[in-house]
Amino acid sequence: MHKKKRVLIVDGYNVLGAWRSGMGRMSGAGLDAARDQLTELFKDYAGYAGQQVILVYDAWQSSRMVRTEEKLGPLTLVFTRKGETADQYIERLVDGLAQDIQLDRCEVRVATSDGVEQTVVLGRGATRLSARELLAEMEYTRAAGRRHVNAVAKPGRSTVMERISEDVRRKLESMRRGGD
């Protein structure tokens, strides 16, 4: 059975607003710094969660004439162009995935707290989650990933030589000493 592709599309400024309001220490940070920090969190989350994440930031009121898309591992960072909202971009993206959603080849979730946008993406076959739900999921996934890494790490097994078989170790030692 083919594994279903998982895609999370995030309305960046919508989630950024919820994240900043939920973290008092971030509320005073500049927008660029906060956006960069959130982007880093999403890069980690995409890796832990094993899904493609598309993080979309509005540029509709800026002077940015072209849309930019930057691939950062499992994260794609998108800045829309002037006159294009994140909602418009997200809706087109979901439309483009609609057939794969319908054929159950792809699971698409959209993270936004915008009620109208939630209704639109639900109507196109994607599922929705609020910004706060996503932030809670990210924290849970990150904590679970850390627990897994700690459980897999074996104390006292910190060198390569300790992890290989005795037979291979003897052969390597023989090679090191110039033996055959």
- Residues contacting 146, CB < 8 A, separation 6+: none
Helices (runs of H) and strands (runs of E) counted in the chain: 7, 6
Per-residue confidence (pLDDT) for residue 149, from 0 to 100: 63
d(CA 82, CA 79): 10
Instruction: Write out the two tokens for 29.
Output: 């940070």
DSSP string computed for 100-127:
HHHTTSEEEEEE---HHHHHHHHHTT-E
CA distance 35 to 33: 5
The reported pTM is 0.75
Question: Could you read off the pLDDT of 70-127 as tens digits, one per residue?
Answer: 999 899 999 999 888 899 999 999 999 989 998 999 999 999 888 878 888 888 889 9
pLDDT tens digits, 98-113: 899 989 999 999 998 8
pLDDT number for residue 25: 45
